[in-house]
Structure 1
Amino acid sequence: MSVEQKAGQVLMPWYSGTNVEAHAATIERLHLAGSIIMGDNVPLDANGQVNPAAMTAINTRLAHASRADGRPWPGLIGVDQEGGIVARLGTPLTEWPTPMSYGAAGNAALAKEAAHGMAAELAPLGFNVDFAPDTDVTIGPADPTIGARSMSGNPDTAGALGISFFQGMLAAGVLPAVKHFPGHGSVAVDSHQDLPVQPASLDELKARDWKPFQAAIAAGAPMVMTGHIAVAALEPGVPASLSRPTYAALRGLGFNGVAITDALNMGAVQKHYPGGSAAPAALAAGADLLLMPADVGLAHAAIVQAVAAGSLPAERLTEAAQRVATMLTWRGRLAAQAGTQAGVPAGAAPGSGSELSGRVSAAAVTVVSGPCSGPLVPGSVQLAGGSPQDRARFEAAAAKAGLATGSGPLVTLIGYNGRPAGGDIAVALDAPWPLGASSSPTKIALYGRTQGAFDALANVLSGKAAAPGKLPAAVGTFPAGTGCP
């Protein structure tokens, strides 16, 4: 491959809108590795739902573009589909609860099954990468970015569940990306906006934030995403995604796969590395794949120029491109072994995981305080909070469980980043942190707002089902592990 081809092979860009032909032309011209699909790239039908056939056509066009220069391995077609607040593809694909649900359920086999179900719906649409699982260890309310995207506040649990999750994805033919090394769950600034600083010592990081990554690497994770976090103990003031000591630390954990940066158009990088300068800097530091540079043309040119100037060693670029090509070749073989046609898993129909998604929520729902047996409410409840969709789903679930709405105890729904609530029963639909300061005598963590999650809630309220979940992280005065026996 020429320098220009290698420079393209390490870039995974985004594009705006649904003009796939213009983006495909850019991929061909710059020899790009592939593309990430963001929310505004997803084609919708007349009802505002994802159009699976149109999505497949877009991904097929992008895949063809990435092989236009004759490379024998497939291009990368990726998406952010974690479940909960991070899901670019909505209905008719299955809606999944937050990843914290798996920590609350404490069931690695269930996490693996769910990840396989998620990936099995993505693969037939042409996706071969999902930027999940998030193995960050959350520290609780002081963590403004990760929250319920984290599976647990316990490093060992986060590691075990992360392994199960990525193994489930791989079994369906989709490449996972374990994220965000060196750990985004213990910093107090959102890297989408600015550069967070991690003040912990290396010993502290090894004992907490790095543990899930160490476990995932030992289990064979093919790709690790680096976050835009400045680690004072490694390289003060420099985002980990552009820091040579950080990549050295990652490789020191035994990682030989593809190190991909978090999106380079995020505030933590954009504010400090103008133009295309972040791209060659990240490669020189040790990154192999650069996600979403702000301007892919500028980034490509900057890489080529850096090699010519000697500031980016040619062998470093070759190493990065080779790692990406090797991973994609390996994934193709893995998918073929899984019983596929043309390297694409047979997969599952959109929405086929809905029953499984509901089982995840039923296993996760946690009574933080209040009765652990029998009906929690009489035959009718009042409802407050949440979005119009949340309330509609609650009412549908209540009707199925034999509960009326309009009178009785007050159930208050707390949405994403919501405030503590009053009423008789407070229900956290995302991270459970608001329950700590809620005045309600009965507090329930649901970790999701899917219809299956509300069905699980209604069954607990009506006494038709127990709440088996346990808090995966401390909430106020309630320690991790709180829940019904």
Structure 2
Amino acid sequence: MSVEQKAGQVLMPLYTGPDPAAQAATIERLHLAGSIIMGDNVPLDANGLANPAGMTTVNQRLSQAARADGRPWPGLIGVDQEGGIVTRLGAPLTEWPTPMSYGAAGSMPLARDAGAAMASELAPLGFNLDFAPSSDVTIGPADPTIGARSMSGNPEQAGQLAVAFSQGMQAANVLPVIKHFPGHGSVTVDSHQALPVQPASIADLEARDWKPFRAAVAAGVPIVMTGHIAVPALEPGVPASLSAPTYATLRGMGFKGVAVTDALNMGAIQKQYPGGSAAPIALAAGADLLLMPADVGQAHAAIVAAVAAGRVPAARLDEAATRVATMMTWRGRTASSPGALPGAGPGSSGDMSARVSAGAITMVSGPCGGPVAPAGVRIAGGSDQDRARFAAAAAKAGLSIGRGPLVTLIGNGGRPAGGDIAVTLDAPWPLAGSAAPVKVALYGRSQGAFDALAAVLAGNAAAPGKLPAAVGSFPAGTGCP
């Protein structure tokens, strides 16, 4: 491969709008690794829903472009599909609750099955990489970025669940990405806006944030994402994604796969490294794949120029391009192996998603047996869709709407609530200040999640979940026995 081809092989850009023609042309011209699909790239049908056939056509075109220069390995077609608020492909694909559901349910087999189910709907559309799961360990409400995207506030559990979910995804032919090393759940600034600083010592990082990554590396995960977080104990003032000591630390854990940066168009990078200037710095530091540069043409030219000037050793570019090519060659082989799970149709995993929510729902405060609302309830809070879904679930559970205890639904970023029953639909933190005597953490707003809630309120099902992180005075592990 020429230097220009290798420089393209380490770049994975985004584009705007549902038409992939310009992106395909750019992939061919710059020999790019492939493309990430964002929400505005998803073709929609007449009802405003995702169009699976249209998405498949888009991904086929981008994949063809990535192989136009004769490379024998597949191009990268990626997406951010975690479940909860980070979901690019909506209905008719299955809607999933927040990843914190897995920590509340506390079941590795459940997390593995869910990862496989999610991936089984993505693979037939042409996706071979999903930027999930997050293995960040959340510290609670002071964490503005990760929150319920974290599976747990317990480092060991977060690692075990991330590994299980990743193994499920790989079994269904989608490459998982463990993120965001060196840990985004314990910093108090959102890297989409500015550069967070992680003041913890190496010993503290080893005891908390790095444990899930060590578990993932030991399990052989193929990709780890580095976050835009400055860690003075490693390299003061420099985002981890652009820091050689950070990559050396990750490799020191035994990681031999592809190290990918978080999106290079985020505020934490663009404010200090505009245009394409971050790309050669990240590459020289040890990144193998550079995600979403603000201007991919500038980034490509900057890498080629940096190699020519010796600022990026030619051997470093060779190493990065080889890692990406090796991973995709391996993925191409395993996807056609006899043990690979078959793809599934859009929306085919609704029962699995509902099972996750039924296993996660947590009675933080209130009765652990019998009906909480014997005959009916009133509803407040949430969105119109939340209330409609709850009403449908209540009807199924035999609860009337309009009379009885007041159920207040609290969405993402919502405030503590009064009434009789407070229910969080995302991170459970608002329950700490809620005056309602009954406090329920649901971790999702899918129809399956509301079905689980109504079943518990009606006394038709137990609430088996446990808090995966402390919520005010309620310690982690709070829940019904």
**Short-chain TM bin:** over 0.9
Q: Which residue of 1 aligns with 2:88?
A: 88
Q: Which residue of 2 aligns with 1:212?
A: 212
Q: Which residue of 2 aligns with 1:440?
A: 436
One-letter amino acid of the structure 2 residue matched with residue 116 of structure 1: A
TM-score normalised according to structure 2 size = 0.99
How much has 1:338 moved relative to structure 2? 4.4
One-letter amino acid of the structure 2 residue matched with residue 121 of structure 1: E
One-letter amino acid of the structure 1 residue matched with residue 164 of structure 2: S
How much has 1:274 moved relative to structure 2? 1.3
Q: Which residue of 2 aligns with 1:429?
A: 425
Counterparts of 1:294-309 in structure 2, within 5 Å, are 294-309=294-309
Q: Decide whether the 8 Å contact of 1:339 with 1:346 is kept in 2.
A: no
How much has 1:336 moved relative to structure 2? 1.3
How much has 1:19 moved relative to structure 2? 2.0
SS of 2:238 mapped into structure 1? coil
One-letter amino acid of the structure 1 residue matched with residue 173 of structure 2: G
Q: Decide whether the 8 Å contact of 1:362 with 1:456 is kept in 2.
A: yes
SS of 2:426 mapped into structure 1? coil
Q: Which residue of 1 aligns with 2:147?
A: 147
How much has 1:145 moved relative to structure 2? 0.3
One-letter amino acid of the structure 2 residue matched with residue 254 of structure 1: G
Q: Which of 395, 400, 407 is 1:399 aligned to?
A: 395
**C-alpha distance in 1 between matches for 2:342 and 2:115:** 16
Q: Which residue of 2 aligns with 1:384?
A: 380
**C-alpha distance in 1 between matches for 2:321 and 2:75:** 12
Q: Which of 356, 364, 369 is 2:365 aligned to?
A: 369
One-letter amino acid of the structure 2 residue matched with residue 21 of structure 1: A
Counterparts of 1:71-470 in structure 2, within 5 Å, are 71-338=71-338, 346-470=342-466
How much has 1:333 moved relative to structure 2? 1.3
One-letter amino acid of the structure 1 residue matched with residue 45 of structure 2: D
Residue 338 to residue 478, structure 1, CA distance change in 2 (3 Å)? farther
Counterparts of 1:15-94 in structure 2, within 5 Å, are 15-94=15-94
How much has 1:334 moved relative to structure 2? 1.2
**C-alpha distance in 2 between matches for 1:314 and 1:389:** 54
One-letter amino acid of the structure 1 residue matched with residue 191 of structure 2: S
Q: Decide whether the 8 Å contact of 2:192 with 2:266 is kept in 1.
A: yes
Q: Decide whether the 8 Å contact of 1:159 with 1:212 is kept in 2.
A: yes
* CA deviation profile, 1:117-138 (whole Å, cap 9, x unmatched): 0000000000000001100000
**C-alpha distance in 1 between matches for 2:180 and 2:383:** 30
The size of the alignment, in residue pairs, is 481
**C-alpha distance in 1 between matches for 2:78 and 2:338:** 20
One-letter amino acid of the structure 1 residue matched with residue 184 of structure 2: H
One-letter amino acid of the structure 2 residue matched with residue 349 of structure 1: G
**C-alpha distance in 1 between matches for 2:338 and 2:24:** 29
How much has 1:460 moved relative to structure 2? 0.1
**C-alpha distance in 2 between matches for 1:118 and 1:276:** 33
Q: Which residue of 2 aligns with 1:5?
A: 5
Q: Which residue of 1 aligns with 2:477?
A: 481
How much has 1:378 moved relative to structure 2? 2.4
One-letter amino acid of the structure 2 residue matched with residue 35 of structure 1: S
**C-alpha distance in 2 between matches for 1:204 and 1:96:** 33
Q: Decide whether the 8 Å contact of 1:217 with 1:255 is kept in 2.
A: yes
Matched residues, percent identical? 77
Structure 1: gaps of 5 or more residues: none
**C-alpha distance in 2 between matches for 1:333 and 1:107:** 30
Could you tell which deviates more after superposition, 15-24 or 448-457?
A: 15-24
Q: Decide whether the 8 Å contact of 2:275 with 2:293 is kept in 1.
A: no
**C-alpha distance in 2 between matches for 1:231 and 1:179:** 16
One-letter amino acid of the structure 2 residue matched with residue 354 of structure 1: G
**C-alpha distance in 2 between matches for 1:59 and 1:295:** 21
**C-alpha distance in 1 between matches for 2:159 and 2:312:** 34
Q: Decide whether the 8 Å contact of 2:76 with 2:128 is kept in 1.
A: yes
**C-alpha distance in 2 between matches for 1:151 and 1:308:** 44
Q: Decide whether the 8 Å contact of 1:171 with 1:338 is kept in 2.
A: no
One-letter amino acid of the structure 1 residue matched with residue 477 of structure 2: G
**C-alpha distance in 1 between matches for 2:435 and 2:215:** 39
Q: Decide whether the 8 Å contact of 1:381 with 1:408 is kept in 2.
A: yes
Could you tell which deviates more after superposition, 345-354 or 95-104?
A: 345-354
How much has 1:339 moved relative to structure 2? 5.3
**C-alpha distance in 1 between matches for 2:182 and 2:313:** 25
* CA deviation profile, 1:349-395 (whole Å, cap 9, x unmatched): 00000001000000000000000000001211110000000000000
Runs (4 or more) in structure 1 with deviation over 6 Å come to none
Q: Decide whether the 8 Å contact of 1:172 with 1:338 is kept in 2.
A: no
* CA deviation profile, 1:44-99 (whole Å, cap 9, x unmatched): 00111110000000000000000000000000000000000001000000000000
* CA deviation profile, 1:409-467 (whole Å, cap 9, x unmatched): 10000000111111000000000000001000000000000000000000000000000
**C-alpha distance in 2 between matches for 1:92 and 1:328:** 28
**C-alpha distance in 2 between matches for 1:460 and 1:165:** 26
SS of 2:72 mapped into structure 1? coil
One-letter amino acid of the structure 2 residue matched with residue 67 of structure 1: R
* CA deviation profile, 1:133-153 (whole Å, cap 9, x unmatched): 100000000000000000000
